[in-house]
Amino acid sequence: MRRLAVLLLFAICVISLAAPVIAPYDPLAAPDGDELKPPSAAHPWGTDVIGRDVFSRTIYGGRQTLIVALAGLLIAVIPGAGLGVLAAVVPNWVDRGIGAVLDALLSIPSLLIAFTILTMLGRGSMQIALACGIAVLPAYARITRAAALQLRSQAFVEAAYAIGATRSHVLRRTLLPNLLEQLISAAIVMLAWIILNASSLHFLGLGGDPGIPEWGAMLAEARQTFRLAPWAALAPGLAITVTLFLVNIMAEKTSTTAVY
Mean pLDDT of the chain: 86
The tally of domains found in the chain comes to: 1
Within-domain flag for 219: yes
| Contact by Cβ (8 Å): 25, 185 | no
Within-domain flag for 34: no
Average pLDDT over residues 219-236: 90
Least confident of 15-19, 54-58, 62-66, 181-185: 181-185
Share of the chain above pLDDT 70, in %: 97
Better pLDDT: 189 or 174: 189
**Element holding 231 (H helix, E strand):** helix 231-250
Select, from the ranges 56-60, 120-124, 158-162, the one with the highest average predicted confidence (pLDDT): 56-60
pLDDT of residue 148: 84
Q: What is the CATH number of the domain that holds 226?
A: 1.10.3720.10
Confidence of residue 254 (pLDDT cuts 50, 70, 90): very low
**Burial grade of 255 (CB within 10 A; 0-12, 13-18, 19 or more):** exposed
Within-domain flag for 256: no
Within-domain flag for 141: yes
Within-domain flag for 73: yes
Within-domain flag for 40: no
DSSP state letter for 173: I
Better pLDDT: 166 or 41: 41
Query: Is the pLDDT confidence value at 259 over 50?
Result: no
Q: Strand ranges (DSSP E) for 41-172? A: none
Within-domain flag for 58: yes
Within-domain flag for 79: yes
Domain that holds residue 53: 2-17+47-250
Sign of CA dihedral 187, 74, 203, 40: negative
Q: Which amino acid is at 176?
A: L
Better pLDDT: 242 or 95: 242
